[in-house]
Amino acid sequence: MMNNLHPEELSKDNERILRYAQDKFQKEGFYKTSMDELARELQISKKTIYKYYASKDKLVEHIVMDKMMCDSNKISEFLKTDDNVVIKFVKILNLNRERFLCMSEKWFRDLQIHTPQLWSEMDKFKIQMIEETMKKLIEQGKKEKLIENYPVEIIITCMISTVKAVLNADFMMNSKLNVKELFSYTMELLLNGILTEKGKKLYEKEKNNLANQIGKINLSQNNYN
């Protein structure tokens, strides 16, 4: 199903519909939102929405595909740099934290319950991304003496199983933590389990550097406003 989709240049109306729906659905879920409601909030005709998306399911599908393609391209860029493996991990984790900050448990619940085929496609993509990305990072990290010499297949299997268990709609709905917190704590546990002592020290240093950079950006934005 999703293999038929591909990145394309969007028209102004299409871009506006997609970004608005993405923001709304990821925060509130999509099951209870009608196309009439979207059209009213966007102040456009429902016909305009249907010009680009034959149904709400198609709109949701496109939102998911767009996000996956953006994430995949961004991670590929990180992997191509000359950075050490810890810096690459920090960049990838920060990318995902930013993504999950915009997503609610309702979004994941609606995907899992009301679009099971799409959820399955997302699951396959997630597994493929973890396998391909982690294999490269682990190999690099071992050469740099930043990752313990554990079997690659065990590390990857543990990571896939843990991420699938935690980023599950039922688990998220019953947890007191938000999606970003669930992801952050999970990755902290996993990374600290595979990094060498040298790797852990470097990881803490890079996390602090990133936090300082984000703090400066936020301060600059507040002063500007």
Residue 45 lies in a domain: no
What distance lies between CA 75 and its chain's CA centroid? Answer: 11
* Interval 65-124: pLDDT, tens: 999 999 999 999 999 999 999 999 999 999 998 888 889 999 999 999 999 999 999 999
Residue 1 lies in a domain: no
CA distance 23 to 42: 12
pLDDT of residue 218 exceeding 90? no
- How many distinct structural domains can be found in the chain? 1
Residue 62 amino acid letter: H
Q: What is the number of other CB atoms lying within 10 angstroms of the CB of residue 48? A: 14
For position 167, what pLDDT does the model report? 86
- To 10 degrees, what angle do helices 116-143 and 56-80 make? 0
Contact 2, 61 (CB under 8 A): yes
Residue 218 lies in a domain: yes
User: Please, what is the average pLDDT of the chain?
Assistant: 89
Q: DSSP characters for 133-201?
A: HHHHHHHHHHHTT-B----HHHHHHHHHHHHHHHS-HHHHHH-SS-HHHHHHHHHHHHHHHHB-HHHHH
Residue 208 lies in a domain: yes
Residue 94 lies in a domain: yes
Contact 41, 52 (CB under 8 A): no
Residue 95 lies in a domain: yes
First to last CA, the chain: 44
Residue 155 lies in a domain: yes
For position 9, what pLDDT does the model report? 54
Residue 130 lies in a domain: yes
Domain span at residue 179 reads 71-224
**CATH number of the domain residue 132 falls in:** 1.10.357
